[in-house]
């Protein structure tokens, strides 16, 4: 069966999803596996015995650096979004957005907010031993924009 495409939601062929975006230091964000030059950064070889689920040594790369928590390397990262936006009942775009938000529907929105918390947690395995350190940040959404397919 042929794949179904949705041209109104597909990214343009030129450029990637991070085009024009920068990190907190103002550096352009590059898509993983991009054709950009390596600039001397190299990824260490994978676990030679093949026992690790993932290679923690790759976290030592400068572009993957995260401050440690109590001397422990952060293994997973998460962002939680909260907030409530009151829409303008007299604005056609806001009413159209409201009407499109059907249960189970996929939506793409651009939002802005304020970081309300940062911290770290952990996960444990079935035996109760430490499994992974999880870096967590929360953003309270304060503004939402609805974008046309051309703007996505």
User: Are 147 and 108 spatial neighbours (Cβ–Cβ below 8 Å)?
Assistant: yes
Specify the pLDDT at position 124: 87
Q: How many helices (H) and strands (E) does the chain have?
A: 1, 3
Q: Is the pTM of this model over 0.75?
A: no
Q: Label residue 24 exposed, middle or buried (CB < 10 Å: 0-12, 13-18, 19+).
A: exposed
> What are the pLDDT tens digits along the chain (152 aa)?
444 434 444 434 445 555 565 555 556 665 554 445 444 444 444 555 655 555 677 777 888 888 888 888 888 899 999 999 999 999 998 898 899 899 998 888 889 999 999 999 888 889 988 888 899 999 999 998 877 667 76
User: Are 15 and 26 spatial neighbours (Cβ–Cβ below 8 Å)?
Assistant: no
Q: Domain limits of the chain?
A: 71-101+110-147
Specify the pLDDT at position 40: 43
């Amino acid at each position: 069966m042929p794949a179904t495409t949705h041209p109104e939601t597909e990214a343009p062929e030129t450029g990637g999803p991070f085009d024009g975006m920068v990190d907190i230091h103002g550096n352009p964000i590059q898509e993983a596996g991009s054709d950009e030059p390596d600039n001397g950064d190299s990824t260490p070889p994978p676990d030679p015995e093949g026992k690790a689920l993932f290679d923690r040594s790759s976290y030592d790369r400068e572009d993957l650096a995260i401050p440690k928590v109590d001397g422990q390397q952060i293994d997973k990262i998460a962002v939680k979004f909260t907030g409530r936006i009151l829409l303008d009942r007299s604005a056609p775009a806001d009413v159209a957005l409201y009407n499109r938000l059907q249960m189970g529907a996929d939506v793409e929105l651009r939002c802005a907010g304020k970081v309300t918390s940062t911290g770290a947690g952990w996960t444990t395995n079935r035996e109760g031993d430490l499994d992974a350190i999880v870096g967590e940040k929360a953003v309270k959404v304060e503004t939402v924009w609805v974008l046309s397919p051309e703007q996505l």
